[in-house]
Amino acid sequence: MIIGQIKDGIVLDHITAGRGMEIYNILGLGELDCTVAMIKNADSVKKGKKDIIKIGQVIDLDFDVLGYIDPGITVNIIRDGALAKREHLSLPERVTGIIRCKNPRCITSTEQELVQEFRLTDRAKKIYRCIYCESEAPRGEGGE
């Protein structure tokens, strides 16, 4: 299979196999008016299998969202057919507007205008806690 080279755009590489469509949907890539290529289960020396997303234009990406969803992602910015910048993502210290607090007593439940914000409390276990009530973020998020 041959996927063409990008002149100006972004390559999201080292996505955990099977998470590519989730990232595609969260970033709203289906609404872009450019070429977007999704490669699932590509062979990877480091991970065995991986997903890759190629975007045919440079767009603004929230690296915190990407790092929270899948902290192993590499973001490659391509300009004039060459690698201009490479970012290796990791779990962000804080995430805002990504997770909703499940604690019914949390102030964010009654004060809807408050921004949902969580801080990383255990990097090894990928645990985030609400900054208002200290409730743990629901499992299944943050690359799990």
Its CATH class, for the domain covering 9-88, is: alpha beta
Domain ranges of the chain: 9-88, 94-130
> Which pLDDT value is given to residue 83?
94
How far apart CA 20 and CA 74 sit, in angstroms, is 13
Q: Please report, rounded to a whole number, the percentage of residues in the chain having pLDDT higher than 90.
A: 71
pLDDT band, very low/low/confident/very high, at 5 (cuts 50, 70, 90)? confident
The DSSP secondary structure of the chain, one letter per residue, reads ---PPPSSEEEEEEEETT-HHHHHHHTTGGG-SS-EEEEEEEEETTTEEEEEEEESS-----HHHHHHH-TT-EEEEEETTEEEEEEE----SEEESSS----TTSHHHH-TTSPPEEEEEETTTTEEEETTT-PBPPTT-S--
> Which pLDDT value is given to residue 139?
67
Q: Stretch 23-30: mean pLDDT, rounded?
A: 91
> Which pLDDT value is given to residue 143?
43
Q: Give pLDDT tens digits for 68-102.
A: 989 999 999 999 999 999 999 999 999 998 889 99
State the DSSP H helix or E strand holding residue 68, giving kind and residue range, or none if neither.
Answer: helix 63-69
How far apart CA 122 and CA 112 sit, in angstroms, is 27
Token readout for 116 is: 């949902």
